[in-house]
Structure 1
């Protein structure tokens, strides 16, 4: 009767695709399904099994690692309110202004910096869309290139640490491993850094090639504008606008990589540092603090409600034997570990067309993790592959959230079809990185 667990999985997946709230679909349908099974097939599930649920929920709530989620969210929203993104874009644009495509390159670099200091995709895409898209269009950039650069750069926060995706991935993998080797969040951060930087480098290379082949698509900034901007206190602008955020990034990531602080402790440092940067930018006020606290509470509540729903789903799914059934099915199908990994990567990529990364993490990852452990695969490596793959879920139409965010702030002249066309080269670049890490892991990091 293990197929009942598969039916539960399919029903929940279909309802989520139809737009029902993820948290309540995961928890509510799982409870209702288990109640039905306990009545008509009590030998497979009894309601007394739910006595285990409170302890599991408390295990989630008391998880020290997950404390990093609200703190990193606070850090990101505070930096957004500080006006840091606007100042960074203006400064970087003038630094790269003489290079053809320099404005687009500056957007990529600022996206990387904001990724390492915020990790909030919506805030990054909206901010850069409001600031840089009108400027890029005014300076003659091709619409497809401009929107592609902004949307893809805004998603870098999903792979460049500190990343909320990596925190949730590590926790989900560990809770699904059933005593197998755990994945440390700090190790996941360290392993994700190089692939993230390579991704940034490939974005820049693509822009340079694109601007050389099609010069009219990415013109340079006129020399007189650059001269005027650099003429007044340019050095102090660089120190205040560029070096201080970089210093915050170095402190947060450096404390994690050197072992001085855990990711949770470093998130507290980041939240405090972001507040100081906002004060230095002279944007801090009680109103800003209240808005940041409210938005942090809203986003954190959303994540944790989904996590509690996923905990309920996992309990019912495992009690019905769904994980054992899938494991036996995969093992008997004679799939090699690499074939199974490739299959999971394809499933995650396709699912990203329709559902959000959080839903994929909490629905698909708990199901496949025990099978990866049965194959004795390195979960650090698998976690990085999943994170890189999940990043594409923000860009793949029709439901890529970064595309929605950008369309919401783009001028009316920018069509949805142009956004879809513009993002294709960057999705291809991301798939290249996924393939590189999958087939040549030793090139990317030494842990495998």
Structure 2
């Protein structure tokens, strides 16, 4: 077998092992080291030192030299260097800090106050409870970036309230599932940090570029919710006075001041300090983590048990991301050394695709990968395969990253592997069926595809804010 054929066998074996359920990070490392040993094998280097042996050499001396020769392979140097490179990456330093902020905010008892306040504030809007749930999801998802936590918590809080208000179960379920996934797109998004580390694109430009597409998607969701409530009032009846009481303006302003504004100020201060160049993403993440702790103390929700849980979950998730990077970097280095990257590049160039056809093909592949894989695995493992092809089709990595971020919303919303639906089903009342949840998320899935089309047709949605803040 030629080296490129070995590289393709390496990729095929990895995909097969993933579908068999092997841990992805350790599978990448194991395959990278195994095939890397073959790629970098140097017989002379391995047997170097054995000429020092003679007939009087002991068994221990021979064994020691053999072990030394076995490990005298450049793949081990590469693995150590890649591990050090990942662990010292300044961009990834922001990941644990943003995660910690999210886990602290999740445990600060903010969401129930926020949903109740927005529910009262939007009482006269068609589909008011759905609008309140969607805005709460968007804010909470932005603050945490943890899809499972947002969908689960909002499912426990908002879904029973909407069902009690006679909302159609599929409609209510779709709102929570779609709103809970927004955190991986709207800054400060952990997914964008990971993409920046994988692609080398500036994280501050990515944050600026993702803001308008994120707001566009939220706007499409809200338009659908309000429009359907107007055209089909039976799916979202207007709340009664018992379900949502009326309050005086002063009381409403105080409720907003104590629930909506603290979380909004935290998010805007973190994001604003990054966009206006007042702090690096890591520094802003540290301020956000401190702000999350202050909010938890202010809401009297801080305890040693909650702090310990937040630290534990932060460390566990960060370790997963970092070891995925280590495995991916090792795997991709060996894959490229064997000629796999060049072979893929030649194959794609031989297809004679236009830039639009290439983008459609790439997004289709990422869409399909979203069924069996998490967003972190797609960004760290498979997106780097497309990055060397972007100059060939004159595609900006910044623009490509925003399309990928929009596309990854679908990985949580596409049946039969829609993870947000399973998160919700796990805590929903027994009468809410999984098929109803699937039915409810399909219109929101259509909104995601519509937003991708709008962004492609009007690319200034992506480029406007980076141009305003940082120039072209």
State the TM-score, normalized to the length of structure 2.
0.88
Report the counterpart of residue 229 of structure 2 in structure 1: 211
Q: 1:11: Cα distance to partner?
A: 2.0
Report the counterpart of residue 196 of structure 1 in structure 2: 214
Choose from 26, 29, 34 the match for 2:28. 26
Report the counterpart of residue 180 of structure 1 in structure 2: none
Report the counterpart of residue 144 of structure 1 in structure 2: 170
Q: 1:337: Cα distance to partner?
A: 2.5
The answer to whether the 8 Å contact 2:140/2:150 transfers is: yes
Structural mapping, 1:145-294, within 5 Å: 145-174=171-200, 183-227=201-245, 233-294=251-312
Partner SS state of residue 412, structure 1: coil
The answer to whether the 8 Å contact 1:203/1:429 transfers is: yes
Q: Does 1:317 align with 2:344?
A: no
Q: Which moved more, 1:285-294 or 1:49-58?
A: 49-58
1:61-118 per-residue CA deviation (whole Å, 9 max, x = no partner) reads 0001101111111011100100111111111111112223110011111111113322
Partner SS state of residue 408, structure 2: helix
Report the counterpart of residue 13 of structure 2 in structure 1: 11
Report the counterpart of residue 177 of structure 1 in structure 2: none
Measure the CA separation in 2 of the matches of 1:50 and 1:298.
25
Structural mapping, 1:420-431, within 5 Å: 420-431=438-449
Q: Does 1:101 align with 2:119?
A: no
Structural mapping, 1:384-395, within 5 Å: 384-395=402-413
Report the counterpart of residue 406 of structure 1 in structure 2: 424
Q: 1:279: Cα distance to partner?
A: 0.8
Measure the CA separation in 2 of the matches of 1:137 and 1:60.
47
Measure the CA separation in 2 of the matches of 1:116 and 1:391.
14
Q: 1:285: Cα distance to partner?
A: 1.4
Report the counterpart of residue 362 of structure 1 in structure 2: 380
The runs of 5 or more residues in structure 1 that have no matched partner are: 175-182
Measure the CA separation in 2 of the matches of 1:191 and 1:402.
25
The runs of 5 or more residues in structure 2 that have no matched partner are: 45-71
Measure the CA separation in 2 of the matches of 1:41 and 1:192.
51
Q: Which moved more, 1:263-272 or 1:432-441?
A: 432-441
Distance 1:298 1:385, change over 3 A: same
Which of these two proteins has the greater Rg computed from alpha carbons? 2
The answer to whether the 8 Å contact 2:82/2:329 transfers is: yes
1:106-160 per-residue CA deviation (whole Å, 9 max, x = no partner) reads 1111111113322111111111011001111111111111110000000000100
Give RMSD over aligned pairs.
Answer: 2.1
State the TM-score, normalized to the length of structure 1.
0.93
Measure the CA separation in 1 of the matches of 2:364 and 2:315.
34
Measure the CA separation in 1 of the matches of 2:43 and 2:388.
26
Measure the CA separation in 2 of the matches of 1:104 and 1:131.
12
The answer to whether the 8 Å contact 1:17/1:355 transfers is: no
Partner SS state of residue 409, structure 2: helix
The answer to whether the 8 Å contact 2:266/2:288 transfers is: yes
Q: Which moved more, 1:309-318 or 1:219-228?
A: 219-228
1:6-64 per-residue CA deviation (whole Å, 9 max, x = no partner) reads 2222221232233221111221233233345667999xxx9424422211211110001
Structural mapping, 1:321-336, within 5 Å: 321-336=339-354
Q: Does 1:66 align with 2:66?
A: no
Report the counterpart of residue 115 of structure 1 in structure 2: 141
Measure the CA separation in 1 of the matches of 2:247 and 2:317.
38
Distance 1:437 1:353, change over 3 A: same
The answer to whether the 8 Å contact 1:98/1:222 transfers is: no
Report the counterpart of residue 51 of structure 1 in structure 2: 77
